[in-house]
Structure 1
Amino acid sequence: MAELDDKTRTELEAAAFRRLLRHLVDERPEVQNIDLMNLAGFCRNCLSNWYREAAEAQGIAMTKDESRVAIYGMPYDDWKAKHQTEADAGKLAAFEQNRPKH
Structure 2
Amino acid sequence: MTLPIDDHLAAAAFRRLVEHLRLRTDVQNVDLMGVAGFCRNCLGDWVSEASEGALSRDQAREAIYGMPQSEWKARHQMPATPEQLARMDASVALNARPRAGR
Shift of 1:63: 1.3
Q: Measure, in 2, the Cα distance between the counterparts of 1:87 and 1:72.
A: 19
Structure 2 counterparts to residues 59-98 of structure 1, below 5 A? 60-98=53-91
Letter in 1 for 2:91: N
| 1:17 maps to 2:14 | yes
* Structure 2 length-normalised TM: 0.81
Instruction: List alignment gaps of at least 5 residues for structure 2.
Output: 97-102
Q: Measure, in 1, the Cα distance between the counterparts of 2:68 and 2:84.
A: 25
Q: After superposition, give the CA deviation of every residue in 1:37-78 in whole Å (9 maximum; x if it has no partner).
A: 01011111110011011101xxx4321111111111110000
Instruction: List alignment gaps of at least 5 residues for structure 1.
Output: none
Q: Measure, in 1, the Cα distance between the counterparts of 2:90 and 2:13.
A: 31
The aligned length equals 93
Greater than 4 Å deviation, 4+ residue runs: none
SS in 1 for 2:90: helix
Is the contact made by 2:37 and 2:88 (CA closer than 8 Å) also made in structure 1? no
What is the Cα-based RMSD across aligned positions, in Å? 2.1
* Structure 1 length-normalised TM: 0.81
